[in-house]
Amino acid sequence: MKNQGTTNRPDNTAFDQQRLPAWQPVLSAGIVIPGFLLVGLAFIGIGVALFVTSRSIQVLENDYTGTGSSVHCSECVNPKTTPCTCQLNFSLSALFQGPVFLYYGLSNYFQNVRGYGSLRRPSSSCAPYQYDQNTTIAPCGSVANSMFNDTFTLYQLVNATRKTVPLDGKGIAWWTDYNIKFRNPPEVDGSLAAAFNGTVKPVNWPKPVYDLDPTNPANNGFLNQDFLVWMRTAALPDFWKLYRRITEGEYASGLPAGNYTLEIQYNYPVANFAGRKSVIFSNTSWMGGKNQFLGIAYLVTGSLCVVMSAVMLIVYAKFNSPDEDF
Amino acid sequence: MLRRGLNRLFGGDERRVDSRTVYVGHQPCPSTQAFVPPKFCDNRIVSSKYTVWNFLPKNLFEQFRRIANFYFLIIFLVQVIVDTPTSPVTSGLPLFFVITVTAIKQGYEDWLRHKADNEVNNYPVNVLENGRRTQKESKKIKVGDIVEVLEDETFPCDLILLGSSRDDDTCFVTTASLDGESNHKTHYTVPDLESDLEVLNATIECEQPQPDLYKFVGRMHIHKDGQEPAVRSLGPENLLLKGATLKNTRVVYGVAVYTGMETKMALNYQGKSQKRSVVEKSINGFLLVYLCILLSKALVCTTLKYVWQNQRGQDEPWYNQKTQKEKEANMFLKMFTDFLSFMVLFNFIIPVSMYVTVEMQKFLGSFFITWDRDFYDREIQEGALVNTSDLNEELGQVEYVFTDKTGTLTQNNMEFIECSIDGFQYKYQDSRTELDGFCVTDGPVSKLQQKAGREKEELFLRALCLCHTVQVKEAGQGVGFADQVDGVDVASAVEQRGFIASSPDEVALVKGAMKYGFTFLGLESKSMKILNRNNKIEKYELLHVLNFDPVRRRMSVIVRSPDGETLLFCKGADSSIFPRVRQEEVERIRMHVERNATEGYRTLCVAYKRLTDEVFARVDAELREARLALQDREERLVAVYNQVEKGMNLIGATAVEDRLQEEAAETMEALQSAGIKVWVLTGDKMETAKSTCYACRLFQRSTELLELTVRTLEEGGRKRGERLHELLLDYHKRAVQDAPPPKGGVTRTWSSAAQEYGFIIDGTTLSLLLNASSDVVSSNYRSLFLQICQNCTAVLCCRMAPLQKAQIVKMVKNSKGNPITLSIGDGANDVSMILEAHVGIGIKGKEGRQAVRNSDYAIPKLKHLKKLLLAHGHLYYVRIAHLVQYFFYKNLCFILPQFLYQFFCGYSQQPLYDAAYLTMYNICFTSMPILAYSLLEQHICIEILLENATLYREVAKNAMLRWGPFLCWTLLGIFQGLLFFFGVHCLFGNSALQDNGQVFGNWSFGTIVFTILVFTVTLKLALDTRHWTWINHFVIWGSLAFYVFFSFFWGGIIWPFLKQQRLYFVFANMLSSVSAWLVIILLILLSLLPDILWAVLRKPRGPHAQQKKSAGQSNAGGPQSFSKPLLMRTLSDESNTVL
């Protein structure tokens, strides 16, 4: 089969003769030791920057599950008391550097379970929340149905009066999610509600999808920012999700020192699966939210590299010279 | 001539009791009342495997018989049936790809075969039907048809030659396409036939079809009106084989006896046995381990899933209600489904693509052997030939080389050196340049000492001229014979012609006789013509040829001399001639024979015998009878031969030199220093073989020889069995027990000071050893023998029959540790050992092409073996071993994060990576760099590999694919997998990774892990690459670029066919996060750290270090490795001292 070409002399090409010009790198001590040192130093530099940055990020986390160690909102634990509003008071001794982000955190909550976020194959992608009494649910599926529905209002206590801190609900979801990935059905006669005609709201929702945000008509339907945030399922069972940004008015530069009250409308049940809820105030830096891991990891790796280059230097100095003679 | 012996051994057991009757020309013979035309298959050749209709089912069936394909099919079916986490496309697509590519390849090959078949089947042939010549398509020939074949045409089926256009009722045939022998073979018509084939009424009774090309027995009954049918015997000389070509004959007529798939050519198509390489066994072992890992992963996850679900609220939290169907499902069925789902989720750990890549690597890699210019030989104008690409890496694993002597170690270029006539030595003293000169006039016989009587001398030379089967190649077209009337022209005619024979010894002898004045002119209508010293033509009638076979080790002719005497001339090995001649003659010749043998010459003894008329008449009758026998023909012939060749007179002996192959000694030395044990298996005499071994430096001067031959057995004067036992124990004590234990096996160098042993055994002793009285003793002897041999640097087995060669190979192959064996040979007598060994190498030598056809690799010269093993074999092994390990490793660290993710997603079979990534990982992102590596890598460059044969030991015994390295790779994979997952997991302790506070979801998590993974495994390969050609650069950086490009592309578009745009902008968003960048860089570096450290600390490595090392070694080992070049002639004293 393969011997066709052999009757003539094989071609004398570099490829055929396995003589392609080649670079043959050798990891010699002269390259590796300075390399390790440089990388190590660079990593230590980055690590220090990361560590310092991460430490400068302020995080204020409050658990408001109402059970166990958490004292906040214990009055709302009984599911019969609906609607239930509870308050969470805290005080800041110094300026909480802006822009401040308000997150809600859920733990022991498996948004990443298959069949929750992902499609179930093969039949109906949204089961068991595809139909409600034979009418299509919009938006369908478990994720949408279980959308987080606690609401938060933040007040600053100034001279015993509650002053509302404006919370900005725009730009909390990915820009692409809001602008490209999700689309509302075309409006019928200028009404979004009419576009959703023939569908019903998800079973657990108090109000239909076109009525999610009565204050801002552009934030309704599938293009509701809270909805979009919720739809981006979390990777791990303990997660934060962005609720609001504090970017407006006098709070644009941060929350000044003082006493605050967070009014929570407690709707979302977590007790039956031993979950916890919390609310987090945090600011960010160039590296995102507070994360000590990266800085420490860089510092450790960097030091490791430096130490190794030192060890190698010693090894080479001691043992390599007789080796070279051989 | 050795080939015939081989066929005796192989063909002997294929005796068929049945015979078939062929009616020549379909004429009903008078004796049978009702003529029932027997049914035979038509002359259609079908070498194709498929038809249009059965291609799909048959091909699919065959492909899914492969265990790997079947496994992937099962996984695919599970994905289709069960609700699994990944779409069936992820495994279906690669499987479909593999199956399709294979099917296309096989389909194309089959189409080519169809085309070739059609060409053969539709070739027009002339058939005589009722006296008329009609043209038919070849496929329509039926058994019994009389077929006409013209010159240079190929026979369309197996024919019995009925008539030829030549006067002497012969025709010439070349069987180049059958067995590669390009010489013209003479075939004879059935004797005493009417020339008019129309009226011929005959039946042929012959054996059922059988594949042996050189065997045929049949009988022809010729019916004439009212007469008793005459009977003629038919043999292979009457049979024209399909595929052979008619030469030098205008036209022949023959009757078809075997057609279509029953022809000998078609029966020989049957493929060779499949050889599997040791790497494949390793792969299967690793596969099993990974299958266990896969099963245990799935099992662990399933168990933990149900344990976890037992906790309060975790089975069915309110936010994730089960569907109606899930609630109703049976608990155990659900468990089983979950198990299967996990299997599917983790099944990527055993990748389809590995098989494809391994196949591609082998197929493409084998081209480098074919392309290698170093393997090109100017003489035969050919390079190396690769018959199978499955064994490339096996070339790097060889532990035992079994080599033939004649034609392999030696050139098989025979040269007549001297002869001894009646005890007087005759040495031809002309310079070599005049070798082919014709010195017809006075005879250049030098009067060295005294001369034998002129009568004896001429008798001897006549014997040389007559006792052979050499043909004279006609110069030009039929001129040669016609016009050589007187002596003057003859000389020039002789000059122009060459001699053709199946054995070069015979040519050398005939040429030798020519130098002494007796020229063989050729065979014409059963008479041999000799031009004697006086330029007279003597005509001898050739009565019988008693063929050569390797068991008898002699051949004879019976001729009638011009003065009416009947003479038998016999030539053969001394061992077979001496017992058959008068003893007092032997002593005079024996000295010469033995001296010549120790000098490395091939010796033959010549004897003759006068046959009285009565004796001849009896012999003639017996021979004819034996030839007519349908059954046991060969045995009966041999019996007659042995009876005739008795009581002969010894007239002399000849010595023919067979020169060593180019660089034979260097090659052998390199192989030995590469840790390969070289065994020489030859049919030749011990002395000759031994001197060849010395010349090849297989035996050194310091080597102590342990000899186990008939001679040593008979020394003690006791029974052979006892002596054998005694010697074996003695040698075992010397070579095995007293020898210092090898220092760590592989690392033991050739320059160690320990005493080296060489072992010599001959065929008789070997069969005594192997067929000892009881099984217990036999196996005991066998293990003793093997142990001795394993401690010897070289082993010489002489006087071997072809099958014994295979026996030895088999014995070593199956011995402890299952060493990899390689057989190299050039002749048909080596075929059995070539087929038996793990790797069979054929040398494109002079003894036909059978060895080449049956080999796995064919090279023009022995010296090419060095590069084939030391460079190609070594590199192939390193490449494929790395390929296999890398494949397992990269899939382990690919799937491990996915497994770990199950612990964080409620064991719900949630895939970590997107389906596109799962599918593309092995196909696109990481496949090309490793393929390029496995084709181009030269971790040590070829020159250094060739210079330092010891480097070969570094990969010996499957060093890179043992469990140790496998464990290292597996641990590395686990380490990296853990690092990838938990590194990113720690990062996702706060999933707000951008300064705008937005959070990342699970697909971002997966994409970050996947990005680190792709970069790490690719860079890991880059670290391992020692030989960066532009192709490596291109595929490595190209793959990474492609990954980035693909990710942008895949996430940059809303794909209408996807229900969920899970990855929409995930990759771009990831890149906009500084933290993601930092974690990617950090984790890649951390994962590669062990590798970098390993590369730095494992010293000395790299080409420079190797060079340094090699320089040091060659200095140290200088005196021993480059011992003085030894010429053959000077060796005699050496071998004597050792004896």
- Position B94 scores a pLDDT of 77
Question: Among A68-72, B702-706, B869-873, B1087-1091, whose mean pLDDT is lowest?
Answer: A68-72
* Tens digit of each residue's pLDDT (9 = 90 or more) over B346-381: 988 887 778 888 888 988 888 899 899 889 888 888
Structure tokens at A312: 């190698």
- Position A125 scores a pLDDT of 66
Any binding-site annotation on B422? no
Whether A145 has a pLDDT exceeding 80, the answer reads yes
Asked if the C-beta of B132 comes within 8 angstroms of chain A's C-beta atoms, the answer is no
* Tens digit of each residue's pLDDT (9 = 90 or more) over B185-206: 778 888 777 667 777 788 888 8
- Position B868 scores a pLDDT of 93
Q: Which helix (H) or strand (E) holds B840?
A: strand B839-843
Structure tokens at B440: 């017809």
B window 1067-1096, beta carbon within 8 A of A: 1069, 1073-1075, 1078-1079, 1082, 1085-1086, 1089, 1092-1093, 1095-1096
Single pTM value for the model: 0.79
Any binding-site annotation on B405? yes
Most A-contacting residue of B319, B376, B1064, B1070 (CB-CB within 10 A), to test interface: B319
- Position B3 scores a pLDDT of 43
Structure tokens at A219: 């934030």
Whether B961 has a pLDDT exceeding 80, the answer reads yes
* Tens digit of each residue's pLDDT (9 = 90 or more) over B543-601: 888 877 766 778 888 888 888 888 899 988 887 888 888 887 788 788 888 888 777 67
A64-73 exposure pattern, b = at least 16 Cβ within 10 A, e = fewer: bbbeeebebb
Of B762, B595, B597, B793, nearest to B699 by C-alpha is B793
B window 292-311, beta carbon within 8 A of A: 311
pLDDT bin (cut points 50, 70, 90) of residue B938 is very high
Of B911, B418, B389, B883, nearest to B654 by C-alpha is B418
pLDDT bin (cut points 50, 70, 90) of residue B1107 is very low
- Position B638 scores a pLDDT of 84
Question: Among A43-52, A190-199, B468-477, B690-699, whose mean pLDDT is lowest?
Answer: B468-477
Most A-contacting residue of B998, B1010, B1098 (CB-CB within 10 A), to test interface: B998
- Position B497 scores a pLDDT of 58
- Using a CB-CB cut-off of 8 Å, the residues of chain B touching A23 are 1028
- Position A122 scores a pLDDT of 41
Tell me the mean pLDDT in the region B1103-1128.
38
Q: What is the DSSP letter of A81?
A: S
Residue of B375 and B231 predicted with greater confidence: B375
- Position A132 scores a pLDDT of 80
Q: Which helix (H) or strand (E) holds B96?
A: helix B88-121
Mean of per-residue pLDDT scores for chain A: 85
- Position B29 scores a pLDDT of 64
Q: Are A43 and B1082 a contacting pair at CB < 8 A?
A: yes
Any binding-site annotation on B588? no
* Tens digit of each residue's pLDDT (9 = 90 or more) over B602-656: 788 899 888 888 888 998 888 888 877 766 777 888 888 888 888 888 888 888 8
Mean of per-residue pLDDT scores for chain B: 80
- Using a CB-CB cut-off of 8 Å, the residues of chain A touching B376 are 9-10
Q: Do residues B829 and B803 lie in contact, with contact meaning Cβ atoms separated by under 8 Å?
A: no
Above pLDDT 70, what percent of chain A? 92
* Long-range contact pairs involving B195-201 (C-beta distance under 8 Å, separation at least 24): B195/B163, B197/B25, B197/B128, B197/B146, B197/B162, B197/B163, B197/B253, B198/B25, B198/B128, B198/B130, B198/B131, B200/B24, B200/B25, B200/B27, B200/B162, B201/B24, B201/B25, B201/B27, B201/B29, B201/B30
Whether B746 has a pLDDT exceeding 70, the answer reads no
How far is CA B19 from its chain centroid?
34
B window 968-1007, beta carbon within 8 A of A: 983, 985-1002, 1004-1006
Question: Of residues B404, B505, B762, B856, which has the active-site annotation?
Answer: B404
Distances from the Cα of B440 to the Cα of B420, B428, B444, B1026, angstroms? 20, 14, 9, 66
Smallest Cα distance from B1096 to chain A, Å: 6
Smallest Cα distance from B1049 to chain A, Å: 15
Most confident residue range from A155-159, B210-214, B737-741: A155-159
Whether B710 has a pLDDT exceeding 60, the answer reads yes
Tell me which residue in A118, A142, A324 faces B319 most closely, judged by beta carbons. A142
Any binding-site annotation on B489? no
Question: Among A280-294, B170-184, B837-851, B1028-1042, whose mean pLDDT is lowest?
Answer: B170-184
- Position B756 scores a pLDDT of 81
Above pLDDT 90, what percent of chain B? 19
- Position B1106 scores a pLDDT of 43
Tell me the mean pLDDT in the region B717-736.
79
Asked if the C-beta of B936 comes within 8 angstroms of chain A's C-beta atoms, the answer is yes
Smallest Cα distance from B990 to chain A, Å: 6
Residue of A30 and B1064 predicted with greater confidence: B1064
Asked if the C-beta of B367 comes within 8 angstroms of chain A's C-beta atoms, the answer is yes
Structure tokens at A287: 């590296």
* Tens digit of each residue's pLDDT (9 = 90 or more) over B529-556: 888 888 888 888 888 888 777 667 788 8
Residue B110: active-site member? no
Total residues found in chain A within this entry: 326
Q: Do residues B405 and B828 lie in contact, with contact meaning Cβ atoms separated by under 8 Å?
A: no
pLDDT bin (cut points 50, 70, 90) of residue B400 is very high
Tell me which residue in B1026, B1075, B1102 faces A287 most closely, judged by beta carbons. B1075
Q: What is the DSSP string of B183-247?
A: EEEEEEPPSS--S-TTS--EEEEEEPP-S-TT---EEEEE--TTSPPEEEEE-GGGEEPTT-EEE
Any binding-site annotation on B548? yes
Whether B51 has a pLDDT exceeding 90, the answer reads no
Task: Tell me the sheet residues that pair with B148.
Answer: B126, B253
* Tens digit of each residue's pLDDT (9 = 90 or more) over B119-167: 888 888 888 887 788 888 888 888 888 888 888 888 888 888 888 887 7
- Using a CB-CB cut-off of 8 Å, the residues of chain B touching A128 are 321-324
A-chain residue closest to B1008, CA distance: A235
Q: Coil, helix or strand for A64?
A: coil
Structure tokens at B433: 């340049």
B-chain residue closest to A231, CA distance: B1001
Whether B224 has a pLDDT exceeding 70, the answer reads yes
- Using a CB-CB cut-off of 8 Å, the residues of chain B touching A50 are 1078
Q: Are A23 and B905 a contacting pair at CB < 8 A?
A: no
Q: Are A237 and B986 a contacting pair at CB < 8 A?
A: no
Tell me the mean pLDDT in the region B1118-1126.
33
Separation CA A181–CA B1058 (nearest Å): 12
Residue of B737 and B252 predicted with greater confidence: B252
- Position B933 scores a pLDDT of 95
B-chain residue closest to A3, CA distance: B385
Tell me the mean pLDDT in the region B251-255.
89
- Position A69 scores a pLDDT of 75
Smallest Cα distance from B381 to chain A, Å: 6
Q: Do residues A83 and A91 lie in contact, with contact meaning Cβ atoms separated by under 8 Å?
A: no
- Position B596 scores a pLDDT of 80
Smallest Cα distance from B71 to chain A, Å: 23
Please identify which residue in the block is written with the tokens 């005739």. B644
* Tens digit of each residue's pLDDT (9 = 90 or more) over A264-320: 998 898 888 888 999 999 998 998 899 999 999 999 999 999 999 998 888 888 775
Question: What count of other Cβ atoms lies within 10 Å of the Cβ of residue B896?
Answer: 24
Smallest Cα distance from B1099 to chain A, Å: 9
Residue of A308 and B261 predicted with greater confidence: A308
Whether B423 has a pLDDT exceeding 70, the answer reads yes
Whether B9 has a pLDDT exceeding 50, the answer reads no
Q: Do residues A49 and A55 lie in contact, with contact meaning Cβ atoms separated by under 8 Å?
A: no
Separation CA B841–CA B847 (nearest Å): 14
B-chain residue closest to A305, CA distance: B1089
* Tens digit of each residue's pLDDT (9 = 90 or more) over A73-84: 888 877 777 778
Whether B442 has a pLDDT exceeding 80, the answer reads no
Residue of B440 and B416 predicted with greater confidence: B416
Whether B462 has a pLDDT exceeding 70, the answer reads yes
Most B-contacting residue of A17, A41, A119, A121 (CB-CB within 10 A), to test interface: A121
Any binding-site annotation on B97? no
Structure tokens at B565: 């005497």
